[in-house]
Amino acid sequence: MNLFSRGIRNAFRNVIRTSSIIIILALSIGLSIAMLAAKQAVQDKIATVKQSVGNTVNISPAGFRGFEGGGTALTSDQLAKVSKVSHVISVTQMLSDRLDSNTTNLQSAIEAGQLGQRFGPGSSDTQPQLPTTDSSSSSPGTGTNTITRSFTPPVTITGTNNLSTTAAFNGNSAKITSGATINASSDENVALVGKALAEKNNLSVGSTFTAYNTTITVKGIYDTGTTFGNGGVVVPLATLQRLSSQSGAVTSATATIDSLDNLATATTAIKSALGSDADVSNSQDVASQTVEPLESVKKISVFSLVGAVAAGAVIILLTMMMIVRERKREIGVMKAIGASNAKIMGQFIVEALTLTILGLLVGTLVGIAAASPITKTLVTNSTTSSQSQQFGGGPMGAPGSNAGSRPVGGPAFRSIQQTSRQTLQNISASVGGSTLALGAGLAMLIAILGSAVPAYIISTIKPAEAMRSE
């Protein structure tokens, strides 16, 4: 029998009280472990998302809103400045244009559909047609007129100097399913054609089509897996600039930076180099915007963790204070028969540790069971709420306006956002060794904090009290 065995045995002097304390402590410690796991899972997810979006800087003409217009095209000279910025390892340039019946013999692979009909006057394959009003279906003044428009979406042609970027394929990854790729840095009249467009126009490798009164040869057919992505044409940048009479013009560019660590510095330097002529944003901005809900979940988990630890410490504190008060006379007797304050404190700390360790054991099971559901619930609630706020307004399909809070543009960035948002939902928390070790450390902290005040009370108890009769 020594200090440790007495401390452990004392923890079970009142079995009902001990069981109750262990259950309450287990809930507190379990919540702490669940919150630690949630924080770790969220932190890992944030790192994954930020890593996955890469180290790129998006550059577009200031005020540019895609085919809705706005802004003045960037020039090759401006982008040459970007290439010279420190840490920039490459600059992918793109020029986008739309081909209508006046400029190509291609038929769009995409039907306008009901949504497209709303943009009727935007079609240019024929003279814009005025909406037809079917007066028979409504009475004047009722406001229920049926509007019918005739609209065919144009064919998008993209010129790029780098085919490895997804931006050239409307933000999608493309696979050459037939033929070969083109040399993006050449000035040849060659093209890659989307699978759907090729099927619509009976094109195959070696076929030709007309654009800008020039015959262009199909070198390859690509597949992006999306209807929209498969409806375009991709040509070398210089070719499109020449054919569309937009020499040196660029509608978007993506600068690749040597490392994530230099992304912020390089972004600032690019902004400085281009001044007010361009809107510059980096992929981390998009990622940060996307992982904003996770940041709030992280904060919630930290606050909950602190709260749970504090609650555990208070539980132990009150329990030990109650026990010390209850055994005040016994403490006095122990002092009278030769126990030092340290010995008595040690015995009570062992008792507190015993309760805490038992609480930790049960709490670990609670934490393991609760970690994933709690994390999923927090993340789902946060991301749903955040997305409804972000997409609450703003014109559909307007490039660069999908963020709601701040404009970041380009198909590449829309793709990053979509991917990142999807990965956010696929989160699961697991209680690993490090989380358990941290949880055990927190439990010890709870025991020590909870024992501190009772230990002080012990040191102030005068043994003379033991001599006085009850």
Binding interface with another protein (CB under 8 A):
1-3, 6, 9-10, 13, 329-330, 332-341, 343, 462-464, 466-470
User: Shortest distance, CB of residue 451 to another protein, whole angstroms?
Assistant: 19
User: Shortest distance, CB of residue 321 to another protein, whole angstroms?
Assistant: 20
User: Shortest distance, CB of residue 338 to another protein, whole angstroms?
Assistant: 3
User: Shortest distance, CB of residue 369 to another protein, whole angstroms?
Assistant: 35
User: Which CB sits closer to another protein, 43 or 341?
Assistant: 341
User: Shortest distance, CB of residue 459 to another protein, whole angstroms?
Assistant: 9
User: Shortest distance, CB of residue 303 to another protein, whole angstroms?
Assistant: 41
User: Which CB sits closer to another protein, 300 or 466?
Assistant: 466
Q: Which two tokens stand for residue 38?
A: 């949630």
Please write down the HEC assignment for all residues of the chain. Answer: CCHHHHHHHHCCCCHHHHHHHHHHHHHHHHHHHHHHHHHHHHHHHHHHHHHHCCCEEEEEECCCCHHHCCCCCEEHHHHHHHHHCCCEEEEEEEEEEEECCCCECCCCCCCCHHHHHCCHHHCCCCCCCCCEECHHHCCCCCCCCCEECCCCCCEEEEEECCCCCHHHHCCCCCEEEEECCCCCCCCCCEEEEEHHHHHHCCCCCCCEEEECCEEEEEEEEEECCCCCHHHCEEEEHHHHHHHCCCCCEECEEEEEECCHHHHHHHHHHHHHHHHHHEEEEEHHHHHHHHCHHHHHHHHHHHHHHHHHHHHHHHHHHHHHHHHHHHCHHHHHHHHHCCCCHHHHHHHHHHHHHHHHHHHHHHHHHHHHHHHHHHHHHHHHHHHHHHHHHHCCCCCCCCCCCCCCCCCCCCHHHHHHHHHHHHHHHCCCCCCCHHHHHHHHHHHHHHHHHHHHHHHHHHHHCCCHHHHCCC
User: Which CB sits closer to another protein, 406 or 462?
Assistant: 462
User: Shortest distance, CB of residue 11 to another protein, whole angstroms?
Assistant: 11
User: Which CB sits closer to another protein, 3 or 260?
Assistant: 3
User: Which CB sits closer to another protein, 365 or 467?
Assistant: 467
User: Which CB sits closer to another protein, 6 or 242?
Assistant: 6
User: Which CB sits closer to another protein, 17 or 343?
Assistant: 343
User: Which CB sits closer to another protein, 248 or 463?
Assistant: 463
User: Shortest distance, CB of residue 1 to another protein, whole angstroms?
Assistant: 5
User: Which CB sits closer to another protein, 175 or 329?
Assistant: 329
User: Shortest distance, CB of residue 347 to another protein, whole angstroms?
Assistant: 11
